[in-house]
């Protein structure tokens, strides 16, 4: 489970949020000029990124505000949370963050997480692959979240 830092409310449990799909999908300037195919692509075609992905979230049981998040779809690491309307943050300046993340064990099998292994031995086999991320995340972390606490 993810610990998500709402820009308005602070760190909250993932269950308080709803996923809103890919971020930065702009409404067409002149929809009437689009072909059916272009309109369909606007409506339905989305990236299926393996790695860092910009997506929208809403704090549905909290402040009910939307925001954007840069999240790694492999490691579940949250790299950045930023306001709607802001451009996607450039993570190339903080390439060390990505490098640090990639050194982690691939979460294909939860048991291969060193932390998950500890949880597993404690008798909690039902942990989701993302669970260790929550355990490692600092509740005081703000954006951008560095890899040092992970």
Rounded distance between C-alpha atoms, residue 47 and residue 34, angstroms? 20
Report the site for Zn ion in 56-75 (rule: CB under 5 A). 59, 62-63
Contact 5, 11 (CB under 8 A): yes
- In the complex, least distance from residue 79 CB atom to Zn ion, rounded to whole angstroms: 19
- In the complex, least distance from residue 12 CB atom to Zn ion, rounded to whole angstroms: 7
- In the complex, least distance from residue 59 CB atom to Zn ion, rounded to whole angstroms: 3
Given the rule CB under 5 A, which of 7-15, 22-30, 83-91, 141-149 is the region that contacts Zn ion?
A: 7-15
Rounded distance between C-alpha atoms, residue 105 and residue 96, angstroms? 17
Rounded distance between C-alpha atoms, residue 114 and residue 97, angstroms? 20
The closest alpha carbon to 107, from 67, 46, 145, 51, belongs to 51
Given the rule CB under 5 A, which of 19-27, 28-36, 53-61, 104-112 is the region that contacts Zn ion?
A: 53-61
* Residue labelled with tokens 């990236």: 47
Given 6, 23, 58, 127, the residue binding Zn ion (CB under 5 A): 6
Query: What residue ranges bind Zn ion (CB under 5 A)?
Result: 6, 8-9, 59, 62-63
């Amino acid at each position: 489970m993810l610990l998500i830092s709402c820009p308005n409310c602070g760190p909250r449990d993932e269950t308080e949020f709803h996923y809103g799909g890919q971020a930065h999908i702009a409404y067409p300037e002149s929809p009437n000029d689009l072909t059916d195919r272009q309109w369909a692509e606007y409506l339905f075609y989305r990236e299926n990124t393996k790695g860092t992905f910009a997506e929208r979230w809403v704090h549905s049981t909290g402040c009910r505000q939307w925001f954007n998040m840069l999240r790694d779809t492999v490691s579940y690491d949250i790299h950045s949370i930023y306001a709607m309307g802001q451009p996607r943050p450039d993570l190339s300046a903080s390439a060390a963050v990505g490098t640090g993340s990639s050194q982690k064990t691939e979460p294909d099998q939860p048991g291969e997480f060193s932390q998950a292994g500890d949880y597993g031995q404690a008798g909690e086999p039902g942990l989701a692959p993302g669970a260790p991320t929550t355990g490692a995340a600092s509740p005081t972390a703000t954006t951008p979240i560095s890899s040092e606490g992970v």
